[in-house]
Every structure is written in structure tokens, then in C-alpha cells.
Amino acid sequence: DTAGGSYSVLGYGSSLGHGQKDNGEYDTTQEIDYASATAFMANRKCILNLGVYDEWFVSHYEDVDLSLRARRRGGKCFRAGSSVMYHKGAVTYKKYAVKEITIYNIRKNRIRVIVKNYTGIVKLMRLSLVTATHIPLMIYDMISPARTNRLLTIQATWEGLT
């Protein structure tokens, strides 16, 4: 399903190799930005030091948050190139999840990860960039007949900040 994650300055978490045929490009052990929740492994000492996934997130970005917390404490995330994992991504989640709630959680949690894990000018810069990417989404919410919640992105942004 994924070979780890990449985290951008815009607050996007991207799954490396997701949806791609494995041609051996991920066979080496390599440092990654975050360890995906679908294949995360840590020793007991690490979990006791960091804590577990933050339940506030409900779904999406809890793995990015945990990995950033580990980095702040001097930890690193690696992809184990010799490992093999079989996982059909989000099969159960897609079956039961409500699309607008998923979109809401993703947008809210992108902001919350920044609020929790950055400080000072870096925090301000990242929040400004994420908020800028939310503006067209707010407009889309207002004009799209597909949206039942016209304030979805506005509410997600506000909850992520507070």
C-alpha cells in the first residue's frame, strides 16, 4: 500500500509508492518523513517516550503527527527495504466512511499537525501556506452542488486552529 510517507511544506502527507507496481525502487532501507499508520513499528521505549497516536485526529494525519513528535525528540523514521507487507488500503474505511467527513478530517488535521508540531516563524509560514491552499477549496464548497455542507473547509480550518 505504501513505502512510507513524504511530508511537504504545504502540509500534505503523500504515500510513497501508493498505487504503483513494486519494481524494486523501495528495496533499500531509507529515511522517510513519516511512517505510515498502515505499517508502523516501534519499540516499547519509543512508544513510552512519545505516547500513541493522538485520538483528536480521529483519522488521517495521526501518523504524520507521531512521526513529527519523534523527530522533535531526536528520532528518525525509516523504511525497512527488506520488509514485505500486504495491505489493501482503506478497504474497510472506504466502506463505512462518509466522504464529506473524510474531507473535513483531512483539511482539519493538516492544520492541526502544524499547530502541534511547529513554532515561531516556521509555524506562521506553514499555516499561511496551508490557509492559502484552503481558499479555493472554500470557494468550491460554496458553489459546488455536490457539497451538502457549504462551510466544510471554513469549519475544518477553524477547528484545526483552535
How confident is the model over 123-141, as pLDDT tens digits?
999 999 999 999 999 999 9
Spacing of C-alpha 76 from chain mean position: 17
Nearest to 58 by CA among 109, 115, 117: 109
pTM (global) more than 0.75: yes
Average pLDDT over residues 134-157: 92
Instruction: Count CA within 13 A, CB hemisphere, residue 13.
Output: 27
pLDDT per residue as tens digits for the range 35-81: 888 778 888 988 888 888 899 998 899 999 999 999 999 989 998 88
- 87: phi then psi, degrees, rounded to nearest 5: -155, 130
Measured CA distances, 56 to 6, 34, 72, 122, 150 (Å): 22, 19, 20, 23, 24
